[in-house]
Amino acid sequence: MKKNLSLLALTGTLALGAFVGFELSERTSAQVTGTLPATTTSAPATSGTSATAEASRARTQSETNTVQVVKARQGGVVYVEVTDRGGDSSPQAQLRRDLQERFGFELPQQGPQESAGSGFFVNAQGDILTNNHVVEGADEITIRLHGSTQTYAAKVVGRAPDFDLALIRAEGLPAGTVRPIPLGQTEGLEVGLKAIALGAPFGLEFSVSEGIISSLERTVPVGAKGVEQNVIQTDAAINPGNSGGPLLDSAGQVIGVNTQILTGGIGQSAGVGFAVPVDTVRRLLPQLQRGGEVQTPTLGLGFRDVASFTAEEREGAGLPEQGALVLQVYPGSPAERAGLRGSTAPAGQGEQPVPGGDVITAVDGQPLEDAADLPRAVIGKQIGDTLRLTVQRDGQLREVTVPLQAFALPQGRQ
């Protein structure tokens, strides 16, 4: 059962997104002042100065800050343990049914599967944020607090599978044990700023690793639909078991939720980790607190990036230089109801383009420079919103407005 950490293949192609930055000179004052205790400078050493004071004075400013952050925030991190007994809705049960339907055989029944991850308190009510893949299919969830061996039963409050986020709540927590970690914001982050990861790598509870923000211009497939989304890249060591733990800045504020690593096949950190940005957390948290599953809209079409064809092929088929060639429109989908049209025949990778399909060239007035921007734009909307598409059909441009709804793609097309 793949629970501890989502892994990306080393050869995976990573596209670029964008975030807002600010002046590097603001790094210390903006991220520390007013949030954590100020660092004080020790008086000059005397003959009576203790070894402890000497060691403390020898720390760099960065080390002192890291120690402050960890001391202030480790109480807000929780260790999450999950048991999956293989019920009808578990991933194993779904895999067994799929194999039986497709190939006529079934995987043997297995005993309970146990896994672990991380999480952190987000409010005084005791809500705990973690990754959806940590608790997905769980029959039993327990948590433990920092510095305690006592376990507490927890239940899922809300899930956002398409963003790999989930909110859980523990039962019977003693008063005063809930220590929420404040949420920061994406604006103001810059590449090179400190990043501190808290969690339980390989089950080593309440561990700390430190690095920097390596990129704010990275997109990787996230969540159940595998739509490429903006993430924070860090070189702070993230390993299986860190999933769901917070990524903090030097002010001790959450800037992301650790979710994936890029690995060379060794199943552990290779210095490239990814976190769901805190702005995504802020946007989804109210929906998660209302309970249930956060659903995202789906257009209900299959497409191919026009840029994957050669210039000669595009010219021969009358295609623009960039956009998404609609290959198939699924019956009953929002795309079909909006009147979008697919190609008369499929055009898979390496095949010649075929006529008849619409080409989506812009979304909400923004040119579609990369076809992967299309599902990214859709998943950023809510059910009931509309999407304005600029479509080329038979050499003519037209505007198509699509009311967005939830839509389940046919099995095997997910």
Q: Which amino acid belongs to residue 24?
A: L
Catalytic residue (one of 90, 243, 250, 269)? 243
Known active-site residue 243: yes
Question: Are 52 and 107 in contact, with CB atoms under 8 Å apart?
Answer: no
Q: Which amino acid belongs to residue 235?
A: D
Q: Pairing relation of β-strands 386-393 and 359-363?
A: antiparallel
Known active-site residue 146: no
Cα 12 to the center of its chain, rounded Å: 16
Helical ranges in 74-143 per DSSP H: 91-103, 132-135
Residues contacting 356, CB < 8 A, separation 6+:
341, 342, 343, 344, 345
Known active-site residue 133: yes
Q: 110 vs 328, which has greater pLDDT?
A: 328
Please return the burial class of 127, using the count of CB atoms within 10 Å of its CB with bins 0-12, 13-18 and 19+: buried
User: Residue 9 has what pLDDT?
Assistant: 37
The single-letter DSSP state of residue 396 is E
User: Cα Rg for the chain, rounded, in angstroms?
Assistant: 24
Segment among 71-75, 176-180, 236-240 with least mean pLDDT: 236-240
CA-wise closest residue to 31 among 215, 210, 184: 184
Considering the entire predicted model, what is its pTM? 0.78
Catalytic residue (one of 84, 133, 214, 373)? 133
Please return the burial class of 387, using the count of CB atoms within 10 Å of its CB with bins 0-12, 13-18 and 19+: buried
User: Residue 58 has what pLDDT?
Assistant: 75
Structural domains of the chain in order of their starting residue, each with its CATH number:
6-25+182-293 (2.40.10.10), 75-170 (2.40.10.10), 301-403 (2.30.42.10)
Residues 143-158 have a mean pLDDT of: 95
Catalytic residue (one of 164, 249, 279, 358)? 164
Which residue shows structure tokens 């979710």?
259
Q: Please say if the pLDDT value at position 120 is more than 80.
A: yes
Tokens of 297: 């809209």
Cα–Cα distance for residue pair 40/66, rounded to 1 Å: 14
